[in-house]
Chain A
Amino acid sequence: MTWIIRNLWLIPALPLLAAGLGALLQRPQRRLAATLSIGSMAVAFLIACGGFAMTLGEHTERQVHNFPWFQFGETLLQLGWVLDPLTASMLVMITFVGGLIFIYSVGYMARDENFTRFFCFLSLFAAAMLGLVISNNLLMLFMCWELVGLASYLLIGFWHHKPSAAAAAKKAFITTRVGDIGFLLGIVWLYHETGTLLFYSDGAGCLEQGALAKLVAQTTVGGMFVSTAISLLLFCGAVGKSGQFPLHVWLPDAMEGPTPVSALIHAATMVTAGVFLVARMYPLFNAQFTTGLTQDSVLPPISTALQVVTWTGAITAVFAALIAVAQTDIKRILAYSTVSQLGYMFVGLGVGGPAVGMFHLLTHAFFKALLFLGAGSVIHGCHEEQDIRRMGGLCKRMPVTFTTYAVGMLALSGFPLVFSGFWSKDEILHSAMNWPVSKGPFILALTGAVLTAFYMTRQMWFVFFRPRTELSLGRGDGVHDFVPHESPPIMTLPLVSLAACAVLLSIFATPVWPWFDAYLAGHLSELHLGWSGDAATGIVMVLSIMAVVIGLGSGWALYSRVGDGEAIDPIEQRFPGIFAALRERLRVDEFYEITILRLSRIVTALSDGVDRFGWSACVDLVGFLTVGLAWMSRYFDQIFINSGFDVSCENLRGLGRLAGRLQNGQAQRYLRILAFGVVLLIVALAWMGDSSR
């Protein structure tokens, strides 16, 4: 079965092909465009499943396929793909969730006139993300990373006639670019130190023992290991892409795109790229720990890079969850919840390793896609209404959406036992509790869990449960009143499939059968029936359940009294200041506005001034000199050269006039002159004849 590893490139190539063909289609060829995209995803899913099957089993070695890309001088640049449990699980997730989102889009975008273009961009997005996942080379990963950024730009700004969408697209692109600078520097540094960007290459890759030992053996500014410095630079890229504090500002604005795009960005592609990057580069991040070079020193047993990852994630998890409490846009709440959950993933990576973080990534991908698609269904049913204060009572009118949304919401909140979110979050909490450095991330993560359950309850209440007397919805103009309706089956079917997955995935990571951990580590796990954990596991589980219950309970208690209409939020009544600050998203955007943006505007004004008054003056001076020279030259021409020619021309003309007067057309005069000449000739001849004699 080496066929799969050699042809792993087909997985991203198929959606890319679909995108390329889709770009050539005409607007009315909607069915063809959708078929192409969905078909390519389906085939990619099948291949991914084949790859996934290969990584199962007892002796799963990491398989790589490297090939030379080009050579300059003595340097051979190699690209390649890698098939290991990390890649395989991501591939299956992306193609499956992505495919469902594609199918959903057929219904959601049915009335959009740029339907074919939308599918072209979607395919490009999926292709870029799949390429990112399979690449065995940091450079190729970076290229796909940027392609993901480009596709997200195109999709967030898909309704570019809306100024807010265009601005959000630019913001997403530029904000992630800030992180990408660090990423690129990290790549360059890594290449400088190890001379290769291949991850795995029979012992010569940059993530293998030889290179890592070399990296941790050197220190750089501030006594940091080179591996730590490079890891932190790479983490900058992950922070930007995965919307971590302080570069999270683009993610909520990215809600301006169509809802399937939001689902794709938040679940399958884009934001998970950052988490995946850290998981992929985990040996580098963790380098200090594995080499044993630091045994004598008193350095903490966890590498600095992983500590940074953990703390960034923990702070983001609470920070974003707090903001989500006060938002009123259904999609914005979910956006902040994504930011918060991504924080969890980083905590998981930091404290527990790739398996913990990646499992939360996978479960989150399913239930967050579910939630976004559910939100899209709600928005669709309510005629493009996104404000939860104007919704309500939808649980009877949209039963399928309601049920699936509830599953997603419970999974996100981490409701016990049958929802995947509970197990993945529990694992993170458990690892965080055992973290030797600090208990801070554990407490923060627990707080975040309470908040998550709370704001999801608030949203559920507003959207689905709140009793509603008036039947009118919409923008409140009173003309287009209508009753909210359930979405068509092409939109509800993906919802049901995702809801099923959100529940079923939970069986893969229970403490009873920690299959996923073992899978990522590359060996088979055993099924322990019965309680296998220690007391701490039990405590964490109880704490986590308590957090969920507190969140749900307090949310229900606070909001179930909120009736119809746009009543004041109960929290706003009690703590208006805090609530307003949260609603203003803690004014991070405004802070950037008055600091970085203002600074950049000042710099812009300065350089504008320099251009205008400095360089422009120089250019003008040269211009004036040239013009003066031209004037001089012109006058010289006019006065000297032209007049000289004029004089000689005048003389010539006078001469001509004289000559012309001779020729008056009278034959007799010519004849007379002739005769006169002849006489003169005769006289001369006679005279000369005399003298010659």
Chain B
Amino acid sequence: MKGDFTTLEKRLGVSRRDFLKYCTGIAASLGLSTSDAIAMAEAVAKPKKRPVVIWLHGQECTGPTETLLRSEHPTLERLILEMISLEYHQTLDTGAGHQVEHMKELSMKENAGKYLLVVEGAIPTKDGGVYCKIAGKTMLEHTVEAAENAAAIIAFGSCASWGGVQSAYPNPTGAQGTQSVLPGKTVVNIPGCPPNPYNFLATVMHFLTFGSLPELDSQNRPKFAYGRLIHENCERRPHFDAGRFAKEFGDEGHKKGYCLYKLGCKGPETYSNCPAVEFNDIGGGTWPIGVGHPCFGCTEEGVGFTKPLFSLADVKTHTPPNAFPEISDREETSNVTAGAAAVAGAAVGAIVGGAAMAAKKSGSSDARDSQD
């Protein structure tokens, strides 16, 4: 196996160690075993032919591409751009104009049935889709045309997944997600604003290694990434359970890292692995809730861009009772009250008094008994 990787080291310019670490990391975010990591390593080390990727942009801010460019696991550009053959991508292509459009058409014809289609951004459908045109054709036409012969379709980002912010009321352009303009096709949704690049990379790696897509949930999101509520893995969850909430930005609870539920955090109704994977590879709780901002539900259709930012989430697990004792402000206070001391004293007194009465009566009844 060592020989296999020496060529790879040369080709990709990464050390064998770094490369295997990368593959293991990707396998781990998919929830796969080490042997699958080795399979992935081999899939990359011995590419039959690098799979072709066609990447379309619709109505969006290029956030998903930006997030992918910022993934810092060993050298994304070297590995991924060497691993896949990115034949068309409006942001990253060096060429422009008719030249790249021509290349795209050639590539799609040549690789029919084998290329991976990535859609980024929403697709306007109102008035025939005239609100987003590339090279004289609407985004709608581009998408339908590219999807026709794609081996797999990935909608990357919330806009591509269900329309995102463009589709929010009143949705003047009739923006829709990829799936709804491609009825009958399976579109893998990787929502998020921005989406986590590792969820995308892991899905692609799964496709490359096993030739199939990872298990999907009812909204066609990979289960490994969107199988659990943010609330379930949130590092602030103990505060929720204990009833400790930040009530406004900058208050004491907020400074102490209490639960953000009452600030409108949508973690309790949003499925995503954000608390586990975090962002930007710097660790230390670098994700919205980790840095003190309530989750706004970007990966959840009907929550992100739809529900008001500071309205309370619909808690899918246990609702917090507003019923726990306040534990924060009890320190340095003596809670003995005169009333409590009096009642406690009265209780003890009643027992002693009762016993005294019983002892007295007991003695007198004995005296009477002995007289009987």
Our verdict on whether A and B bind, yes or no, reads no
Interface residues, chain A, CB within 8 Å of chain B?
Answer: none
- B interface vs A, CB < 8 Å? none
